[in-house]
Structure 1
Amino acid sequence: MAALNIENVWKKYGNVIALRDVNLDIRDGEFVVLVGPSGCGKSTLLSIIAGLEDTSHGTLTLGEIDVTDLSPKDRNIALVFQSYALYPTMTVRQNITFGMENRKVPKAEQDKAVADVAKLLQIEPLLDRKPGQLSGGQRQRVAMGRALVRDPQLFLFDEPLSNLDAKLRVEMRTEMKKLHKRLGQTIVYVTHDQVEAMTLSDRIVVINDGVVQQFADPDTIYQKPANMFVAGFMGSPSMNFIDVEVTGRARAITAVHRGDGADIDFPFGATREELAPYIGKTITLGVRPEHFRPAGEAGLTLTVNVDVVEPTGPDTMVVFSVAGKSLVGVLNAKFRPEEDDDVTLSLSLDEACFFDTEGVRIRGLAE
């Protein structure tokens, strides 16, 4: 195992900047997930860590060794691809031992390594099969087994679950979490799936347009997003954004949304003193869909007009309009209004976020 330090890393392709001044300090034994929209630079960063791409500027240190200019084979890093990259004519056992044979590892050591990883990944009955005889989940386990026998300092995973069906992805997420707990290896994992990011990681790196937007633990990312991009990207459905004018005075603050024919007052009183410098200015209020609740529960009471109702099984997603603003709420499964009904909801403001005109979250005074 080893820590990974990425310092001032840039990647340019001609005039196109793929990564801009990336700085990450990944701790020994940590599970870090890189997440962001397609084309944001997360796979480019993974390739740079693996040595498959050169940096345009910056350094990478693995443990105590500067690996910036080392070839992939000299970095002691294992990469598990999205496509598994298994040899179709070889058995599972041969796929796992292929790299060890090239490194002239003694046969006895190969056999022991295969036995250990096969037991760990529960693929012992599959060792004499070929990849074409395996399910997607089984192929993924074999690809992981091939990486594990190398005993690398760092594991890299490039969207390894994206080819699996929804049920199998959930199962494999659980298995990967168990595996990391048992091994304690340092892992950098790329995905576009925010659920994978939230459930697997110790910390998440959110990237957009080649820039790290936030690097923090999942709770911080979700509850205290650094900016509107992170707030909107992490969470499904995404956070609701409402333009509001800050009014009142210190310790008696109200945020007002000026709607079509009606206003919405969000009274915060003395609970959000960080808004005092913004009195008289327009900023953005962010509330999560799950912060809406059926009428009668604690919170701000709103009468809304229902546009769309989408039962999801455990929840009911409702799209509704209030003061000319379209919002999304996620409520309990028993809440089933009819479309075009006027219904009353409660909105909890305890975890509301505020963003300035640049889209940066306004931090609380205690932060």
Structure 2
Amino acid sequence: MARLTIDSTWKKYGEFLALRDINLDIKDGEFVVLVGPSGCGKSTLLSIIAGLEETSYGTLTLGERDVTDLSAKDRNIAMVFQSYALYPTMTVRENITFGMENRRVPKDEQKKAVADVARLLQIEPLLGRKPSQLSGGQRQRVAMGRALVRDPQLFLFDEPLSNLDAKLRVEMRTEIKKLHKRLGQTIVYVTHDQIEAMTLSDRIVVMSGGVVQQFADPDTIYREPANKFVAGFMGSPSMNFIDVDVEGSQNDIRLVYRSNGAELVVPLGTRHEELLPYVGGKVTIGARPEHFVLDGKQEGALVPITARVEVVEPTGPDTMLVFQVADLSLVAVLPANFRPAEDEEINLLLDLEHVCFFDPETTARIPRI
């Protein structure tokens, strides 16, 4: 195990900046997930950590060693790829021991390592099979086993579950979580799946445009997003955004949305003093689908809203509702037994205790007072 420090790291391809001033301090034994849209730089950063790409500027420290200029083979890092990268003509056992053979590890140590890893990953019956005889989940376990026998300081996972079907993806996610709990190894994991990021990680790195937008634990990322991008990217369905005018005075703040003669008023009264500097200007309300409720006991924190139902989508445990307020189309997640008719007018409550407010120019979240 080892701590990984990435200090002021940049990556340029000609004039294109793929990574901009990346600074991360990943603790010993921590599970960190890099997440973001395609092209955000997460895979480039993983390749730099692995030693498959060079930095343009900056340093990387693994444990006590500066590994910035070390080749991949000298970093003591194991990587699990999206494509599994198994040798098709070799058995599972041979795939797992291949790296040890190259490093001239004694046969008795190889045998013990394979036995330990096979038992840990529950692939003992598969050791004599070829990759073509394995399911996707079994191949992924073998790829993980090949990484585990190296006993590295750091594990890197590059979208390892993206080729699996939905059910198997959930099962393998659980297995990886259990594996980390048992081994306590430092893991850096790349995914575009925000559910994987939220459920697996100790902390999440949200990236966009080669820049780290936020580095925090999953609860903080979800409840206190650093900016509008993080708020909109993390969460499914996505956060609702409403651009409003801030009106009134210190004792009577109102948020008003107006468009084509339609109007939505959210009275704040004396709450949310952090919005006082914005009176006479605008802010963006960020409301997650679960911030709309049918009833509640928080007096003063719930704002009644009359909505027209556009689409009803039963999902099993919940009902997802697309509804219209003024000329805005918004999304709510409500109890499964709530099934209004399309075009029906319903009464909802917006929970102001949990909504976020964003500066319209910087897009940064406005901290609460």
CA distance in 1, matches of 2:223, 2:207: 17
Q: Which residue does 1:194 correspond to in 2?
A: 194
Q: Which residue does 1:359 correspond to in 2?
A: 363
Which of 86-95 and 243-252 deviates more?
243-252
Shift of 1:247: 2.0
Gaps in structure 2 of 5+ consecutive residues: none
Q: Which residue does 2:50 correspond to in 1?
A: 50
Per-residue CA shift, 1:144-172, capped at 9, x if unaligned? 00000000000000000000000000011
Which of 119-128 and 186-195 deviates more?
119-128
Contact 1:294–1:335 at 8 Å: present in 2 too? no
| Residue correspondence of structure 1 range 190-339 to structure 2 within 5 A | 190-295=190-295, 298=298, 299-339=302-342
CA distance in 2, matches of 1:234, 1:15: 30
Aligned residues: 365
Amino acid across the alignment from 1:308: V
Which of 263-272 and 222-231 deviates more?
263-272
| Residue correspondence of structure 1 range 155-166 to structure 2 within 5 A | 155-166=155-166
Amino acid across the alignment from 1:56: S
Per-residue CA shift, 1:229-267, capped at 9, x if unaligned? 000000111000001112222354222222443322222
Contact 1:251–1:273 at 8 Å: present in 2 too? no
Amino acid across the alignment from 1:264: L
Which of 61-70 and 355-364 deviates more?
355-364
Q: Which residue does 1:89 correspond to in 2?
A: 89
Per-residue CA shift, 1:321-349, capped at 9, x if unaligned? 11111111111111111111111111111
Amino acid across the alignment from 1:364: R
Shift of 1:296: 6.4
CA distance in 2, matches of 1:46, 1:250: 49
Q: Which residue does 2:70 correspond to in 1?
A: 70
Per-residue CA shift, 1:102-149, capped at 9, x if unaligned? 000001100110111111111111111111111111110000000000
CA distance in 2, matches of 1:296, 1:29: 41
Which of 177-186 and 335-344 deviates more?
335-344
Contact 1:251–1:270 at 8 Å: present in 2 too? yes
Contact 1:295–1:301 at 8 Å: present in 2 too? no
Amino acid across the alignment from 1:309: V
Within the alignment, does 1:128 sit opposite 2:128 as a pair?
yes
Contact 1:11–1:55 at 8 Å: present in 2 too? yes
Q: TM-score, normalised by structure 1?
A: 0.97
Contact 1:123–1:138 at 8 Å: present in 2 too? yes
The CA RMSD over aligned residues, in Å, is 1.1
| Residue correspondence of structure 1 range 140-159 to structure 2 within 5 A | 140-159=140-159
Q: TM-score, normalised by structure 2?
A: 0.97
Identity of counterpart residues, as a percentage? 75
Per-residue CA shift, 1:4-57, capped at 9, x if unaligned? 000111111111111111110101000000000011110000000000000111
Gaps in structure 1 of 5+ consecutive residues: none
Per-residue CA shift, 1:161-214, capped at 9, x if unaligned? 000000000011111111101100000000000000000000000000101100
Shift of 1:271: 2.9
CA distance in 2, matches of 1:2, 1:338: 56
SS of the residue corresponding to residue 180 of structure 1 reads helix
Q: Which 4+ runs in 1 deviate beyond 6 A?
A: none
SS of the residue corresponding to residue 368 of structure 2 reads coil
CA distance in 2, matches of 1:251, 1:60: 52
CA distance in 2, matches of 1:2, 1:269: 51
Contact 1:320–1:326 at 8 Å: present in 2 too? yes
CA distance in 1, matches of 2:251, 2:94: 69
